[in-house]
Amino acid sequence: MSLTPQTYWAEHAWLGSTVEQHVLIESGRDGRIAAVRADTPAPPAGAVTLRGLTVPGFANAHSHAFHRALRGTVQTGSGTFWTWRDVMYEIASRLTPESYFDLARAVYAEMAMAGITAVGEFHYLHHAPGGDRYENPNAMGEALIAAAAEAGIRITLLDTCYLASGFGIGRKAAAPEGHQLRFSDGTADAWAERVSAFDPNALGDHARLGAAIHSVRAVPAEQLGTVVQWAKDRMAPLHVHLSEQTAENDACRATHGCSPTRLLSDRGVLGPSTTAVHATHLTAEDVARLGRSSTGVCMCPTTERDLADGIGPAKNLQDKGSPLSLGTDSHAVIDLLEEARAMEMDERLRTRSRGHWTASQLLRAATTDGHAAIGWPESGRIEAGAPADLTTIALDSVRTVGTPPGLGLESVIFAATNADVRHTVVAGRHIVRDGVHQLVPHVPVELAKAIDALRP
């Protein structure tokens, strides 16, 4: 991809450990940073000024784009994760490749406006209602990749294996039911065959393929190895929902005599290329297994609290060796700053003590470690050779003003919101300028149209 070289002058920039003033960032035709120079007193002629604090673009390591259509509608009454899931299935049943493209394009544009430059899309909505394959069996995944391109962000399509509705009786998995039929390829081998046939022309420079195991309840134990091997052969990231609900833990123990974490470990799923999503209800042994294997963990605090899932042992996981990333999951809100802040605040509530992570450590989860989790290890830093993906947050809003520049990062992490994101740059291109998306006009209107089209 040939891009126009660009020079940006950041009023303040986080360069990995400290906030520096007056930083010149040059990008080349390859969309990568060519040079970074601090202490440049004024923007040179032709440079684009970025007022505020510029940080590496955020990585949203766990997304289900179609869940965005649930916002508001699932906030009435009471219930549990399982009642919420029934509403989610109804929305899933109405999507087509065309309507999914429209929705995802608007959702990814919303992400760009929130400073997100890359998303890990945990994609299991593969087939037509009833389970029939589209003429192009990867039509839904290609719609998501095309949507990300039009919204101007990077995507890792984590194509998800989803084969069963539960553990079933004995060790025979229960077949998919109703709305789940369109999620399933029937077997892991059929899943691998479909994903391997993905049209390479559908993958631009902005897209990469990864794999996902929906959960231990949705992929029978004897078929986990097929997904693991597919990812290993391609050096692709592998993600899995893990212990989001205690009911999953109980059912796994009843069927296999062990926790989901132990089952994944015994089947070779864990490791440095794997990310466990949620990891909320873990034993001390589970935490140790994840840490020893350097398995990453993606925390999604705004969804976990919205669904009343619980507070996961994030600090303990990191202390044991698991890198942490962040995701917006169900998109109750799309705000990586809130996800980072919530991880610290949840730990404070759980322990009744403060200061478990520094602002820099929380930002690292939202940037460097998040990008690594979704297969972009070269991203998430402002240095020569890295992709020129940048996010600038205002330091003069009602939420952030009044803090000394040296504490700008603390102000941003602990007080700013997505509304304070002023600029988003991807591969050197200015995607969001002064809060306005440059590729998708009237993002709220596009969101409303796409969501209204899914209403009964």
Question: How many residues are present in the chain?
Answer: 456
Catalytic-residue membership of 329: yes
The C-alpha angle with vertex 393 and arms to 392 and 399, in degrees rounded to 5, equals: 175
The answer to whether 243 and 261 are in contact (CB under 8 A) is yes
Give which of 352, 343, 307, 303 is closest to 325, Cα–Cα: 343
In eight-state DSSP terms, residue 176 is: P
DSSP H or E run through 388: none
Helical H segments across 124-198, by residue range:
139-151, 188-196
| Rounded distance between C-alpha atoms, residue 402 and residue 14, angstroms | 19
User: What is the C-alpha separation between 280 and 308, in angstroms, rounded?
Assistant: 11
Q: Is residue 278 annotated as part of the catalytic site, yes or no?
A: yes
Which of these is catalytic: 64, 239, 241, 278?
278
Query: 25 - beta bridge partners?
Result: 8, 36
Q: What is the DSSP letter of 445?
A: H
Count of CB atoms situated within 10 Å of the CB of 236: 18
Nearest-Å Rg of the Cα atoms of the chain is 21
The structure tokens listed for 448 are 């409303």
Question: DSSP string spanning 222-262?
Answer: GGHHHHHHHHHHTT--EEEEES-SHHHHHHHHHHHSS-HHH
> Under 8 Å CB-to-CB from 68, ≥6 apart: which residues?
103, 106, 107, 110, 331, 334, 447, 451
Tokens of 69: 């259509």
Token couple for 12: 């303040």
Alpha-carbon distance of 379 to 117, in angstroms, equals: 10
- Active-site entry in 185, 306, 309, 329: 329
Catalytic center residues: 278, 329
